[in-house]
A = this chain, B = another copy of it.
Amino acid sequence: MPSQITAANHSLSERAIWADAFLKEEANGRKHSSAGAVHHFVADREIFAEGANADYFYKVISGVVRTCKFLADGRRQIDAFHIAGEIFGFEPGATYRLSGEAVSDCTVVAYRKKHVDLFSGTDAMVSRELLSFAMHSMTRSQEHSLLLGRRGAAEKVAIFLLDWAKRSGDRKIVNLAMSRQDIADYLGLTIETISRTLSQMERDRMIALPSTRQVQVRDLDALEDLSC
């Protein structure tokens, strides 16, 4: 477990909970506040299940969350990973089409959907953030589709690493919150292929692997070339 990451995020989380700017009803003194309840989840705990009533949607305060779908034969496809500040589990319909699970220990805020009147006008800020979320989420999904389409294993892994390098801010060291299996299910590959590809990249001096959950980017250009 990445204890450093978790620790760092926890100190952040205490501030983030109170500073959360998503729904400011508390500040506005409204009756039926839609400000959410804070929840903690340990790694691999289910946050909501595919098919369940989608009464709540969530925002990540700290840690990493995955949304995924299980197929009949046990295969799993991870749709997305969500980090601090991102909304997940917001459904157009009445039920969740994906499961939500904690990748690492994490803290989330749950918002009651019915308390959020999307078009009341007074909730303009909410509308704005939700539309923004939906657009962002759409873009993310489209890029994911592109990634899963006609691309080789090395390309996929390179894109994945660059994505997390960008997200984590640090261009040189990427701390992966998720297991090889998670990466595989996200990229539509097997753990063996992920492992082999990373090893090959290390042999090619593109990256170094100080530990299994840490990747050091050595040759950014080479990675970017791979990602087309």
List the B side residues contacting A75 at CB < 8 Å.
150
A141 to B134, CA, bound (A): 12
Interface pair A71/B228, CB less than 8 Å apart: yes
Q: How far is the CA of A144 from the CA of B135 in the complex (A)?
A: 16
Say whether A131 contacts B127, CB under 8 Å.
yes
User: Which residues does chain B contribute within 8 Å of A124, judged by CB atoms?
Assistant: 119, 121
Q: Are A145 and B79 in contact (CB under 8 A)?
A: yes
- List residues of chain A with CB under 8 Å of any chain B CB: 69, 71-73, 75, 77, 79, 92, 97-98, 118-119, 121, 124, 127-128, 130-132, 134-139, 141-142, 144-146, 148-150, 185, 188, 228
Most B C-beta atoms less than 10 A away, residue of A79, A121, A150:
A150
**In the complex, are the beta carbons of A77 and B145 less than 8 A apart?**
yes
A132 CB → nearest B CB, Å: 7
Q: Bound complex: CA of A150 vs CA of B193, how far in Å?
A: 13
Q: Give the number of times this chain occurs in the complex, counting copies.
A: 2
Q: List 12 A-B contacts (CB under 8 A).
A: A72-B228, A79-B142, A97-B139, A97-B142, A118-B128, A131-B134, A138-B138, A141-B141, A141-B142, A141-B145, A148-B149, A150-B185
Contacts of A128 in B (CB 8 A): 118-119
Contact partners of A146 in chain B: CB under 8 A: 69, 77, 79
CA distance in complex: A171, B69 (Å)? 27
Q: Which residues of the partner chain B approach A188 to less than 8 Å between Cβ atoms?
A: 148-150
Which residue of the partner chain B has the closest CB to A146? Answer: B77
Question: Could you tell me the distance between the alpha carbons of A188 and B144 in the complex, rounded to whole angstroms?
Answer: 13
How distant is the Cα of A134 from the Cα of B139 in the complex, in angstroms? Answer: 10
The CA of A228 and the CA of B142, in the complex, are separated in Å by: 23
A130 surroundings in chain B (CB, below 8 A): 131
Q: How far is the CB of A75 from chain B (nearest CB, A)?
A: 5
Q: Are A142 and B98 in contact (CB under 8 A)?
A: yes
Which of A119, A121, A128, A148 lies at the interface centre, i.e. has the most chain B CB atoms within 10 A of its CB?
Answer: A148
